[in-house]
Amino acid sequence: MTSPEPRAPRQRLIGLFLLGVAAVLLVSSVTWFGSDRSGIGIAQVVVGLVLAAVGGLVVRRAQPR
């Protein structure tokens, strides 16, 4: 079994960071909808979903095969 790349732990941490930021954006977007600023809330949800997708891909690529 080959060892993972030396960059894998750093990539995994970056992916987890992106997933964490995405989670915060998605959870906090509710406040924008509650304050009648749904445009900002929708934009925040979209950015959160994009960050979650990118973070998930980075974490999956960093896993040893």
pLDDT at residue 1 greater than cutoff 60: no
What one-character DSSP code corresponds to residue 4?
Answer: P
Residue-wise pLDDT tens digits, 29-57: 989 888 889 899 999 999 999 999 999 99
Angle between the 8-34 and 38-62 helix axes, to the nearest 10 degrees?
160
